[in-house]
Each structure stands twice: as structure tokens, then as C-alpha cells.
Amino acid sequence: MSVKHMILGILQEAPTHGYNIKKRLYRNILQDFGINDGQLYPALNQLEKEGFITKEVVIQEKGPNRHRYSITPKGSQAFLLWLEGDEDENESVRYDFFRKDRFLLKCNFMHYLEPGLLERKILAQISLGEKKLKDFHNAHASMTHRQVKPHRLQILELGIQLQEARLKWLQGLLEVVKREIK
């Protein structure tokens, strides 16, 4: 994920302040990629230094002043070049699904666990997956209500399908483990 291009994409839609950029990138996404305020604001400063965005101080009567960021023509051009190009599209790791999923890494060695603990771990993953799926469905309903662009809904629908597939796989894993225990 390119934080720089995500920020430029948000500013391509409309000028906004840092808090709204963070809100638009969704707290969960930023946390998953290890990005926090200590990284977001330096990224905004760097984009400003590069001439891709401008910052305007908006004075508020109540509360602290805000910085409103806007994309420059140079920033728009850089964003569109990135969007048109194939950078960040070609995954080089063949088994990235495996490498990025810590539970799958542990699955290779689960035969060292006590059978009861192994079952509990799988059931915990199923529970977590069901919660994620519910969250995705709630997000989808909210996005539909807000009339979010259809291609963005499709991205979330992929997440729903992947989570459903993972739950089906976990159920199968649980059945395999139960058979092995007998």
C-alpha cells in the first residue's frame, strides 16, 4: 500500500483536513498497515515539500485551528500516473496469502498442540471470522445507504467473499482435526 497515493487519492476527491484523511482511510486499515498519526502527518509534510499538496490554516473560533490540505496540479498528475501505471499491482510473492496470515503460519505446526487446545484455537478463529463478516456486512449496508460508488462496494464485496471462503476453510480444518483426534 502506498500511503502517499492513498492520501493523494483522497485529496483528489476534495480538499480536507488531516483528521478527515485519517477517518477516510479507516482506522482499521491504517492500524493493519502500521500507520499512525506519527506517520500520517510526516507523510503530509513530505507531500507538501514535494509540491503535491498545499496546506491552508483554517482559523476556528471554537477549538484549535485546522490545516486544510488540497492537491496541486503536480500532485494530481503524480496520482494519475500512479493510478494508470502497474506499480503496486504485481505481487511478486507466490504464497503471499500464506506469508501474511499468521494463523496459517501456525497451522503448519499445530500437530504439536494438545487436541483440545487445537480445536479451541480453530473455534476462536471461526468466531473472529464471523465477527469480521458481520462487520463487513454492516459496512456494506452503511456504504449502500450513503450511496458510495459501486466500484468501492465491489472492493468490500471481495472482502466478504474472502471472509466467507476462510470460514468455510476453517470449518473444513475443524472437521479434519476432529477426525485425526479419533
Chunk the chain into consecutive blocks of 10 residues (it has 182) and report each block's average pLDDT, rounded to whole numbers. Answer: 82 88 62 64 94 93 90 95 80 67 85 88 96 93 90 90 96 92 74
Give the closest residue to 26 by CA, choosing from 149, 107, 143, 147.
143
pLDDT in tens, 148-157: 889 888 988 9
DSSP 85: S
pLDDT in tens, 8-29: 988 998 999 888 887 776 544 5
Q: DSSP alpha helices (H): ranges in the chain? A: 3-13, 18-24, 27-32, 37-49, 73-84, 96-99, 102-107, 115-145, 150-181
Phi, psi (rounded to 5 degrees) for 53: -140, 160
- Residue 165 C-alpha from the chain's centroid: 18
